[in-house]
Amino acid sequence: VNTADLFATDRPVMVNFIFTTCTAICPMMTSIFQQVQMRLGEEAEKILMVSISIDPEQDSPDALAEYAEAFRAGPQWRFLTGSLEDSVAVQKAFEAYRGDKMNHAPMTLLRADAAGDWVRLEGFASADELESEARSML
């Protein structure tokens, strides 16, 4: 899946950056996305949720599929990996690149539609906050 094509949607989009071997912030951020998905119920399918790996050398499609399954990700929630160059380019495009996966910081990016601006939430956005943002975009 080409990231640009994926984001060329008029659906609201929520994005975070994770890696599957992370033991600190990534499981927390993924759990928050899972809570938002559960809270939205059937409306979750109206929102594109995207978790982008910042460690593509470890995060094969199979590794991400297992990770997604562990967090009971629905069909609207995509987990992306690719080449290291692509991963760095996407991180830089979102001003999320920190030079090393161990330095990455929690953040969530949201956009209401293809014409909308990205909203950047630094740190850990709560499930309440993200659910509220998601509902306001629907």
Query: Region 12-38: what's the mean pLDDT?
Result: 96
pTM of the model: 0.94
At 98-121, the pLDDT tens digits run 988 888 889 999 999 989 999 999
Residue 1: its pLDDT value, please? 66
Chain-wide mean pLDDT for the chain?
Answer: 93
- pLDDT 10s digits, 64-102: 999 999 999 999 999 999 999 999 999 999 999 998 888
Q: In this structure, are residues 13 and 7 in contact, taking their beta carbons and an 8 Å threshold? A: yes
Sign of CA dihedral 42, 47, 48, 52: negative
